[in-house]
Every structure is written in structure tokens, then in C-alpha cells.
């Protein structure tokens, strides 16, 4: 069984507080995009996990492996599996590549064993593995609140995008640890952004996008700001860092502009893509 699993971007990201356990409370607009990993699941004598990218761990620390373990335990599945990950989504990029793989495993095993799990049940299992996992059972455009698990479906945004992952490593932990809530100068107006989305006003949406985590990353990594500027020069309606970065995306009205921007960025960034938004998850 092969499951296609898309990446996500954040059309906005706000931190609105902190839970007692230290988790940040978020208000994000999440969007799936047509940039896919593929996860192949086959029964096997022993548990094996493989991936075409060397920076992805092929042991228990792979989130897809942990997803298998959770499913095996919960549904008394005694079989073992070979999980082959074809990774096209940049790793540690703010595009939730790991989370989408975990969602694919849950969905794949649900189908393989005819478990008939509802979307809500799969979301609940996914949340045990990571806060971004439940979103992939909805996909399209969603408001995510709480630590990312409270999802509200919005009108699906339809647009062209350039997504670029600069060759730097940004740790999600570092970004959240260095975020000072009282120093955030600009928060997104999430309510207004939702109105733009639901009225299909892509231009106003693009112009209103804010990711408060940029306050940490842009200071540390000027390349993020440079990419945003290049995207704007090439006609993007708006440009933003996704998640905790370092990936940056630009929204384009015109695909030809997106392709020109892609060609310019490709001169010095290997991982750059022209994609569109999609209206589904795994
Ligand atoms: P998020 O936006 O949810 O923080 P991300 O896109 O920043 O996710 P991932 O690509 O999910 O980050 O990877 C984060 C780390 O998790 C990587 O450094 C990698 O070592 C590890 N990892 C474990 N399993 C996977 C997987 N299946 N795919 C990618 N990375 C994985």
C-alpha cells in the first residue's frame, strides 16, 4: 500500500499564550500543498524502515516507526512491516514532513486492517505522536488552535506558491525557547485573515500574513528575510516563513511569475519548488 502525504505551510502563525506544561498556545492557519512524500507499507517478518534521504533516521526515532508502534499496540496488530519513505519534502524545514508521514501510517494501517476509524479517532491517535499530525486527516485550509490540535475547517485557499528551504538548520526548540511573548511587535489579525479566506480574497490574505516566529529567526538568519524580499521582487502578493522555519513561501497570482522566481532562487538554493495549494490531507 502506498500513501501520498502532502507537506503543509502556515498562512499565519500566532502565539497567544503558554500552557502550564510549557507548550505554547497557538493560532495558526494551516494549508496542505502539492509537495508529497510517499509512504509504502508492506507486511514483513521484522520491522524495517527505509528512506531515500540520509538525514532522516531509520530507527525508532522515526515518527513513522512510532506511528506503527502506536497502531500495533492499540489494535493488537501482531504483524510487522517494512515502511519505505520516499522523501521529497525538505527535512526539518517547518513543512511538517515527519508529521505527514505519521498520519500516512495511521491511515494506511486503518485501511489495511479495515479498522473503520473515524477521522476524529485518527486525529486522536495522531495527537499522541505530534501536535501537527491531526491536521493531515483534514488537509486543505484549517484554523488550528490549542497546541495545533483544535481544528476548524475553512474555505479552501487556491493559489500558486513558491516554497524555498534555505540550506540552514533551525531547531524548532530553539525558536520557541527564544521567543519572548512581550517583545512580539506585530501579531496577525487571525479573525480578519479568516474573513479574507472565506471570501476568497487571496490578495488581502497574502498582504495580511504574519508569523510571529520570524521575530526569532529573521534576526538569527538574514537569509530568510532575503528570500522573502526576492519573492516580493518577483511579484509575490505576500511572503512568509512557514512554521518555525527555515522554509519561506510566496503566494503568486500568476504561475509565470512563480516560475521566474523559482529560477532566480534556484541559483543558490537547492530545495525550491513551484506548487499549488490542495484541498485534502493524507
Ligand atoms: P514541524 O514543522 O512539525 O516542526 P519540520 O518540517 O520542521 O516539522 P520534520 O521534517 O518533521 O521537521 O523533521 C524534524 C526532525 O525529525 C528531523 O530532524 C528528523 O531527524 C526527525 N524525523 C523523524 N522522523 C522523520 C520523518 N519521517 N521525516 C522527517 N524527519 C523525521
Average of pLDDT values for 155-160? Answer: 97
In this prediction the pTM is: 0.96
At 174-186, the pLDDT tens digits run 999 999 888 898 9
d(Cα 27, Cα 147) in Å, to the nearest integer? 8
Report how far ligand 1's centroid is from the alpha carbon of 253 (Å): 30
d(Cα 76, Cα 68) in Å, to the nearest integer? 11
Domains of the chain (ranges; CATH) run 2-153 (3.30.230.10), 160-276 (3.30.70.890)
d(Cα 264, Cα 120) in Å, to the nearest integer? 43
265 Cβ inside 6 Å of ligand 1: no
Per the model's pLDDT, the better-predicted residue between 17 and 152 turns out to be 152
- pLDDT above 90 (res 23): no
Q: Locate cell 532575503: which residue?
A: 226
57 Cβ inside 6 Å of ligand 1: yes
If DSSP codes are grouped into helix, strand and coil, which group holds residue 9? Answer: strand
Question: Within 10 A of 216 (CB to CB), how many other CB atoms are there?
Answer: 22
pLDDT at 45: 96
Quick one: DSSP state of residue 22? S
How, if at all, do strands 80-86 and 48-51 pair? parallel
10 Cβ inside 6 Å of ligand 1: no
Mutate to test the pocket of ligand 1, among 35, 92, 144 (most ligand atoms within 8 A of CB): 92
- Residue with the smallest CA separation from ligand 1 atom 8 is 96
d(Cα 160, Cα 274) in Å, to the nearest integer? 7
Amino acid at each position: 500500500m502506498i500513501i501520498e502525504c502532502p507537506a503543509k505551510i502556515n498562512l499565519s502563525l500566532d502565539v497567544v499564550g503558554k500552557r502550564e506544561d510549557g507548550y505554547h498556545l497557538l493560532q495558526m492557519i494551516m494549508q496542505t500543498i502539492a509537495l508529497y512524500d510517499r509512504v509504502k507499507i508492506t507486511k514483513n517478518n521484522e520491522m524495517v524502515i527505509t528512506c531515500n534521504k540520509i538525514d532522516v533516521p531509520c530507527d525508532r526515532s522515526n515518527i513513522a516507526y512510532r506511528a506503527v508502534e502506536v497502531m500495533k499496540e492499540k489494535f493488537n496488530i501482531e504483524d510487522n512491516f517494512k515502511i519505505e519513505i520516499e522523501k521529497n519534502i525538505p527535512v526539518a524545514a517547518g513543512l511538517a514532513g515527519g508529521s505527514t508521514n505519521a498520519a500516512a501510517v495511521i491511515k494506511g494501517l486503518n485501511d489495511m486492517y479495515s479498522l473503520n476509524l473515524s477521522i476524529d479517532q485518527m486525529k486522536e491517535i495522531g495527537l499522541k505522536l505530534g501536535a501537527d499530525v491531526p491536521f493531515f486527516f483534514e488537509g486543505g485550509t484549517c484554523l488550528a488552535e490549542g497546541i495545533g490540535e483544535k481544528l476548524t475547517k475553512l474555505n479552501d485557499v487556491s493559489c500558486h506558491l513558491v516554497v524555498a528551504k534555505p540550506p540552514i538548520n533551525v531547531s524548532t526548540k530553539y525558536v520557541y525557547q527564544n521567543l519572548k511573548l512581550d517583545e512580539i511587535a506585530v501579531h496577525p489579525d487571525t479573525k480578519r485573515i479568516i474573513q479574507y479566506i472565506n471570501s476568497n480574497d487571496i490578495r488581502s490574505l497574502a498582504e495580511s500574513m504574519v508569523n510571529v516566529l520570524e521575530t526569532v529567526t529573521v534576526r538569527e538568519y538574514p537569509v530568510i528575510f532575503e528570500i522573502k524580499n526576492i519573492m516580493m521582487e518577483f511579484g509575490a502578493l505576500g511572503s512568509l516563513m512557514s512554521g518555525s522555519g527555515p522554509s519561506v513561501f510566496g503566494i503568486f497570482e500568476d504561475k509565470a511569475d512563480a516560475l521566474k522566481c523559482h529560477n532566480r532562487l534556484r541559483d543558490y538554493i537547492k530545495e525550491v519548488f513551484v506548487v499549488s495549494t490542495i484541498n485534502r490531507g493524507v
